[in-house]
Structure 1
Amino acid sequence: MTLINAVGIDDIAIYSPGHYYDLADLAAAHGIDPAKYTKGIGQERMAVPSPDEDIVTMAANAVAPLLSDGVRDAVSTVIFATESGIDQSKSAGLFVHGVLGLRPNCRVVEFKQACYGATAGIQFACDLVRQRPAEKVLIIASDIARYERGSEGECTQGAGAVAMVVSANPRLIEIHPQSGLFSLDVMDFWRPNHRSAALVDGKLSIDVYLRSLTEAWADFRRKGGLPLDAVDKLCFHQPFTKMAKKAFGALAEAAGPEAAHLGEASYADSQVYGRLIGNTYSASLYIGLCSLLDNCAENLGGRTIGLFSYGSGSVGEFFTATVRPSYRRYLRADAHRTMLDARQRLDDATYAAWFYEVPKQVEDRALPQEAAGRFRLAAVEEQRRVYEEAIPEAQLVPLQAVA
């Protein structure tokens, strides 16, 4: 029998498309000062998926580095969180299951609640592992943030995926069992089935986000969660990176003197990747967590992180986690930085074509190879999506963790 000392994140990897659009170019197209984006919302670039990339290919590219033989054999459940679903019936996770050849003896499901879904998956996974500690759960979050051309939300677009293995005695992060919750039925952000671009009431969404944070924090403390003076670092859902500053202000006000030791440095490292990728909806919080672990110069071993997850519509959750002492041995920081540095800059015409001239899903078509990752969408045949391994694993930059 496995002795459980902790349950949490044993491994993590991120993936972002191999192309980006610079916010300075978007500012020029909109005829405004680039500082409105780079300073005002804290964004520099948005990741842009090529026509042969979707949430499945991004997910598969994020998951592949995690799949040692031991992980393949132990994964009992695959949870795919997204709000960019490609099918109203079949889980996107089953496409990933097929692309990567995962073992058949596991359950595969899709979670949806705007940007919050991956946190529901994390909590579900932790409870499963506490019951059956020999098993591992694969959590995937993958999304494409898309708004109307010329809208206020366009500057916050992005795309990316994060994959995590939840296990007993994890190497990276121990998730604490206490969490604070707050749900409210509100129309701050939504995407009806017939639309490819989301609708958003920006001011309302920010207001509800901040209310959800303070309410979830209060619930967390009522349930015996740690006081904020026991927390060393913070990680917030980031629809744009400047939102972390607003979130910190609201949390500090709610926590009072407990927040006196914290400041911008407590969350700044969690913003590095988001500034270069843009909004990734369900993946946002955990790309931020990966950014914090990869980029913080301090040794975070034994330190406590406070995390806030928010999904419009709306659900918020505050919880805490402790970084494991030897976490740095298992990070993929160099591979993540190499991936982001290798991306190609798009001109305005290509960006607009790729993001906005999207064929209807019912249209059969073959897709030329544009994607930079290992896996791609090759075709749609009789309304069936066909995926392929475009780049053999041996030709990729190694993404495996240091043993």
Structure 2
Amino acid sequence: MNVGIDSISLCVPESFYPLTDLAEKHGIDPNKYLYGLGQEKMSVPSPDEDIVTLAAGAANPILTDDVRASISTVILATESGIDQSKSAGLFVHGLLGIKSNCRVIEFKQACYGATAALQMATDMVRQRPDEKILIIASDIARYEQDSLGECTQGAGALAMVISANPRLLNLHHAHGTHSFDVMDFWRPNGHKAAQVDGHLSIEVYLESMRQAWSNYKDNGGHQLSELPWLCFHQPFTKMSKKAFTALKESEPQQGAELTDLSYEHSLLYGRQIGNTYTASLYIGLLSLLENNPQDLTEQNIGLFSYGSGSVGEFFSAQVVPGYRQHLRVKEHQEMLSNRQALSHEKYTSWFYQSLADHENQVMPKFSNREFRLEKVDGFRRVYGVNTPESNELKKVS
């Protein structure tokens, strides 16, 4: 029985900050960001957007009545959690009107969480093929202002429905993993911004990929020559180039057959969005499926997921015939092209002065998306849904 990704959907904030402007503020050559990192824009959430509103915005377009009725589990993967106890997925569950006889959980392991969710969901569906699992990866990548990491910030969410007989991708059984305790990236309790040892993180990422790739092959995975398309976790898109080079070097004979075309289309969305932690790999996968002009039917895609701290996993999938009919290319590209550019002043105000941290706060309305954070009442977050019938806000807390 085939199990994998049946549908996939993206949501990003309505605003972005150009990295050329950030480079000017930092007093450096813009090419350091545009080409050195491979980043052009960072998505910036408004004060009434967060991982819940982005997650709900990503999932809603792919939840038909039939899908809602079949969902047994919602897994929200994030490292930008809004509560130390309650899953952010429960807010999303309420906003989306998913049935109550459904388990809802949150996964955390840096940027790796969505891959853990995908593997768990795949195994669950293999046991109970009539069920569907909703996975949402939603994050806001945030570093200290004027730090080296600021240029890699971003925000976004990616939702996937996992099912039997999927319409997009069949997941292969083989996978390779590697875990290693290291402090290359972390965010202590009470800190909004992440801490990172950038050089160490790159080294650990690449070694984790080598070890996960070796384990994937040991577990019956495909040869590199059988994986014409590749997607890598993208803390910044130039990292995919480093990963691709390291993978080719580990397989000098088979790697010689591969070119940069293997992964280049997976970078197009990430350049415009920035780092989205748990969602980054899967935004890359979406970018490959929606931007590659070739027909990928029945071709294999190799994927490497990495979460600092650290866990890495290499796995693969095969593209299902007719996949293009079930993508949302127009909607996603319009979402990206219709965003507004922010001034430096507004960007810093929105990104570094969070109103949602206050005990009580009515949130000014900035977002025009379907879901928004309406207020914080005694540290209780209250979200709103603009219903088409009445255009009134339904409270979900």
Band of TM-score, shorter chain: over 0.9
Q: Which amino acid aligns with 2:219?
A: K
CA distance in 2, matches of 1:29, 1:342: 25
SS in structure 2 of the partner of residue 175 of structure 1: strand
Q: Which amino acid aligns with 1:339?
A: M
Question: What is the match of residue 400 of structure 1?
Answer: none
Taking the aligned partners of 1:220 and 1:135, their CA distance within structure 2 comes to 28
| Distance (Å, rounded) in 1 between the aligned partners of 2:389 and 2:148 | 40
Aligned to 1:55: 51
- How far apart, CA to CA, are the structure 2 residues paired with 1:323 and 1:96? 29
How far did residue 391 of structure 1 move?
6.7
Paired AA for residue 377 in structure 1 = L
Q: Between Structure 1 and Structure 2, how many residues are aligned?
A: 391
2:250 aligned to which of 243, 254, 264: 254
**Residues 158-177 of structure 1: matches in 2 within 5 Å?**
158-177=154-173
- Determine the structure 2 residue equivalent to 1:127: 123
Contact 1:373 1:391 in 2 (8 A): no
User: C-alpha displacement at 1:99, in angstroms?
Assistant: 0.9
One of 138, 142, 147 as aligned partner of 2:138: 142
Contact 2:73 2:134 in 1 (8 A): yes
Distance in 2 separating the partners of 1:343 and 1:181: 37
Q: Which one-letter code corresponds to 2:166 in the other structure?
A: P
RMSD: 1.2
**Distance across 2 between alignment mates of 1:193 and 1:392:** 39
**1:157 to partner: Cα distance:** 0.1
Among residues 94, 98, 107, which one is paired with 1:98 in the alignment?
94
SS where residue 40 of structure 1 aligns?
helix
Q: Which letter maps to 2:360?
A: D
Offset of residue 363 of structure 1: 2.4
Closer/same/farther in 2, CA of residues 394 and 130 from structure 1, 3 Å limit: farther
CA–CA separation in structure 2 for the residues paired with 1:232 and 1:134: 32
Q: Distance in 2 between matches of 1:140 and 1:164?
A: 6
- Residues 28-67 of structure 1: pairs in structure 2 closer than 5 A: 28-67=24-63
Q: CA deviation at 1:256?
A: 2.1
Say if 1:46 and 1:276, in contact at 8 Å, map to a contact too: yes
TM-score between both structures, scaled by the size of structure 1: 0.96
1:83 matched to 2:79 = yes
Q: Distance in 2 between matches of 1:360 and 1:289?
A: 32
Pair 1:333-2:332 in alignment: no
TM-score by length of 2: 0.97
Match of 2:380 in 1: 384
Identify the residue that residue 69 of structure 2 maps to in structure 1: 73
Percent of residue pairs identical: 60
What letter matches 2:192 in structure 1? S
The structure 1 residue matched to 2:228, chosen from 218, 229, 232, is 232
Aligned partner of residue 359 in structure 2, secondary structure = coil
* Preserved CA contact (<8 Å) 2:206 2:246: yes
List per-residue Cα deviations over 1:303-362 (Å, max 9, x = no partner). Answer: 000000000000000001000011000000110000000000000000000011124624
Measure the CA separation in 2 of the matches of 1:394 and 1:202.
Answer: 49
Does the residue aligned with 2:36 lie in a helix, a strand or coil?
coil
Query: Quick check: 2:47–2:355 contact (8 Å CA) kept in 1?
Result: no
Structure 1 residue 201 displacement after superposition: 0.1
State how 1:2-17 maps to structure 2 within 5 Å: 4=1, 6-17=2-13
Cα separation, 2, equivalents of 1:359 and 1:74: 37
1:394: Cα distance to partner?
Answer: 11
Query: Residue type of the partner of 1:170?
Result: P
3-state SS of the aligned residue for 2:213? helix
Tell me which amino acid in the other structure corresponds to 2:124.
L
User: 1:243 maps to which residue?
Assistant: 239
Q: 1:36–1:381: structure 2 CA closer, same or farther, 3 Å change rule?
A: same
Structure 1 position 182 matched with structure 2 position 178: yes
Q: 1:374–1:392: 8 Å Cα contact kept in structure 2?
A: no
CA contact (8 A) 1:374 1:393 kept: no
Aligned counterpart in structure 2 of residue 303 of structure 1, from 277, 299, 318: 299
Structure 1 residues not aligned, in runs of 5+: 396-403
Find the counterpart in structure 2 of residue 371 from structure 1: 367
Deviation at 1:383, TM superposition (A): 1.1
CA distance in 1, matches of 2:387, 2:261: 39
* Deviations 1:41-100, CA, capped at 9 Å, x for gaps: 000000000000000000000000011011000000000000000001111100000111
Q: Distance in 2 between matches of 1:308 and 1:282?
A: 12
